[in-house]
Amino acid sequence: MIITFCGQKGGTGKTTLSFLVAETLSRVGKKVAVRDDDPQASISQIVTELRDAGRTEIEIWDRNRAGEYDFVIVDTLPRLSSNVLIEAVKEADILILPLKPSMVDIRATLPAVEMVKENTRPGGKAFVLWNMVKPGTRISRELQGLEGMLGMQVLKNSIPERIGFTYATLQGYEAITGEDRELLQRLVLEFVA
Ligand SMILES: Nc1ncnc2c1ncn2[C@@H]1O[C@H](COP(=O)(O)OP(=O)(O)O)[C@@H](O)[C@H]1O
Ligand SMILES: [Mg+2]
């Protein structure tokens, strides 16, 4: 199964969430590879460093072993006109658009929502995922109401802003609290079901 993180903007959490979802699936015994469709190659760097330190079993995607993986997690570049991105969207079983809950970000993401809707393959699914939600803020309580503006299904599990998620890309799963690990498991179950 191919799970692809995409969007038009940088800084919404595509790379961080690619890693967190890959690690969550790996920790329940799945064979997981990450594929980098972003020339910055951030996810490859994160996984290579953690693998060298013995902190993860996630693999770097290898075309010759494509049939062996239970899950391929694809991190993409934030450029809508890119053919690499369009091909990645067409190929995905599950597409996830991480989005920060701010009006600026929501408006800026509407073209990406359209592009994803146009290119999702038959049988493929696409979701918006709220990321970096600040607990207790008014906008965090209004997220469900914002769903209508987006015209795309929004995942019920949202991801809070946590320093542990930033550290996880350096230190691996150790940096994530038990509570946040459970949240990530619920999130994954919500879209992999
Ligand atoms: N849920 C989160 N909580 C805290 N920091 C986050 C969270 N998601 C992303 N970040 C931080 O935000 C920045 C941008 O995230 P990144 O995954 O690189 O976005 P993108 O790949 O979309 O450009 C990084 O510094 C990352 O550590
Ligand atoms: Mg990135």
SS3 191: helix
Task: Please say if the pLDDT value at position 136 is more than 90.
Answer: no
Ligand 1 nearest-atom number relative to CA 7: 22
- Residue 89 near ligand 1, beta carbon < 6 Å: no
**Is 14 close to ligand 1, i.e. is its CB under 6 Å away?**
yes
Alpha-carbon Rg for the chain, nearest whole angstrom, is 16
Quote the mean pLDDT of the chain.
94
How many residues are there in the chain?
A: 193
Ligand number nearest CA of 14 is 1
Structure tokens at 76: 């993409």
Ligand 1 near 11 CB (within 6 A): yes
For residue 55 and ligand 1, the question of a CB distance below 6 A is answered with no
The DSSP string of 38-69 is: STT-HHHHHHHHHHHTT----EE--GGGGGG-
Map out the domains of the chain as residue ranges. 2-186
- CA 183 vs. chain centroid, Å, equals 14
pLDDT digits (tens, 9 = 90+) for 146-183: 888 888 999 999 999 999 999 999 999 999 999 999 99
Any idea which fold 2-186 has? Answer: Rossmann fold (3.40.50)
- Over 80: is that where the pLDDT of 145 sits? no
How far apart, in whole angstroms, are the C-alpha atoms of residue 165 and residue 168? 5
Q: What is the pTM of this model?
A: 0.96
According to the model, what pLDDT value does residue 38 have? Answer: 87
96 strand-pairing partners: 5, 127
In one-letter notation, the amino acid at residue 10 is G
Any atom of ligand 1 within 6 Å of the Cβ of 12? yes
Give the dihedral of Cα atoms 64, 65, 67, 73; nearest 10 deg: -110
DSSP code, position 160: B
Residue 135, helix vs strand vs coil: coil
Instruction: Work out the average pLDDT over 20-27.
Output: 98
Q: Is the CB of 13 under 6 A from ligand 1?
A: yes
Q: What percent of the chain has pLDDT over 90?
A: 80
Of residues 33 and 144, more confidence is placed in 33
Atom of ligand 1 nearest to the CA of 159: 1
Alpha-carbon torsion 159, 34, 39, 120, what sign?
A: negative
Instruction: Report the percentage of the chain scoring pLDDT > 70.
Output: 100
Atom number, ligand 1, closest to the C-alpha of residue 18: 17
Mutate to test the pocket of ligand 1, among 4, 6, 16 (most ligand atoms within 8 A of CB): 16
DSSP lists the bridge partners of residue 99 as 130
- 3-class state of residue 90 by DSSP: helix
Give the per-residue pLDDT at 140.
76
Judge whether 124 and 5 are in contact, CB under 8 Å. Answer: no
